Every structure is written in C-alpha cells, then in structure tokens.
Amino acid sequence: MKKYSKQREIILESLRERKDHPTAEKLFMDLKKQMPELGIATVYRNLTELCEEGLITKVKSKKGPDRYDGNELPHIHFECKKCGDFIDIYLTETQIKQMHMSMKKLSTEVEAEYENSEIYLNGICKKCKKIAEKVV
Ligand SMILES: [Zn+2]
Ligand SMILES: [Zn+2]
C-alpha cells in the first residue's frame, strides 16, 4: 500500500471543506500558515496526484490559473468574468441525464462515441450584477 503524507491529507481535507475553488498558489498560501515547512512543489505534486486519482477535480479558468475543487457532489461551474468567483450549480439526476442525452445526440452527428463532457458557464455573478446596478 502506498503511504500518504500528512501534507497530502491536509491538502485534500482543506479542499473538501472550502467552496471557493482555490488556485494552487492560494491553497499554498493558506496552508502555509498552519504548516510553515510546506513547499509549493509539494502542493503541486499532491494536487496532480489527487486529480489523477479522481479525488479532486481541476477546473480550468478563463481568467487565470487552474482552480482546484474538492466538492464531490455532481455540479457544474459558473465563472464570473468580473470577480473571478467560481459558483457551483447543482444538478438533479434528471438534469444530468438530459444533458448527457443531448451530448450523445450531438456526438452521433459527427459519428463519434460520446463519453463525457465538462460544462462551463461564464458571465456576471449575482454580487457583481448588484454592484453594476448601483453604479447606474
Ligand atoms: Zn462576480
Ligand atoms: Zn465546484
């Protein structure tokens, strides 16, 4: 059995708890407060491993570096173009099924076999919309 480090445990635990989809750097800065001996290379290595094992997911951002997500519930992401927040949108099982059905249909149009899709939404979040409305 592979022996896992304490650091890896803390990285995973922290990602399971937080909902802000931090970048590797942000996570490193926050964890360094409780683990001064932690190095950025360790954070990167563990994040890559955790992704490969499917324990966390890497989320691509249009605005900046990749973000990391430890939320295990099925959901899709909405990225705010203004503040860069990632918001989780939860889907019901029916919604997921419907989505996969339409993806499958689209794939058959090019005679490909559909396996998976990553849905990504972007725009302006509720918080930034309110700020914009106040200015006007
Ligand atoms: Zn925003
Ligand atoms: Zn998420």
- What secondary structure, in 3-state letters, does the chain show? CCCCCHHHHHHHHHHHHCCCCCEHHHHHHHHHCCCCCCCHHHHHHHHHHHHHCCCCEEECCCCCCCEEECCCCCEEEEEECCCCCEEEEECCHHHHHHHHHHHHHHHHHCCCCCCCCCCEEEECCHHHHHHHHHHC
Q: Position of tokens 């993806």?
A: 103
Of 64, 28, 20, give the one whose Cα is nearest residue 47: 28
pTM of structure: 0.84
- Ligand 2 centroid to Cα of residue 26, in Å, is 16
- Ligand 2 centroid to Cα of residue 136, in Å, is 32
- Ligand 2 centroid to Cα of residue 109, in Å, is 30
End-to-end CA distance of the chain: 61
CATH number among 3.40.50.620, 1.10.10.10, 3.90.420.10, 2.60.120.10, domain 1-71: 1.10.10.10
At the fourth CATH level, the homologous superfamily of domain 73-136 is Ferric-uptake regulator, C-terminal dimerisarion domain (3.30.1490.190)
- As residues whose CB is below 5 A from the ion ligand 2, the structure lists 69, 71, 88
| pLDDT tens-digit profile, the chain (136 residues) | 455 688 999 999 999 999 999 999 999 999 999 999 999 999 999 999 999 999 999 999 998 999 999 999 989 999 999 999 999 999 999 999 999 999 999 999 999 999 988 889 999 999 999 998 887 6
User: Residue 63 has what pLDDT?
Assistant: 86
Rounded Cα gap, residues 58 and 37, in angstroms? 25
- Ligand 1 centroid to Cα of residue 79, in Å, is 8
**Which ligand is located closest to the Cα atom of residue 18?**
2
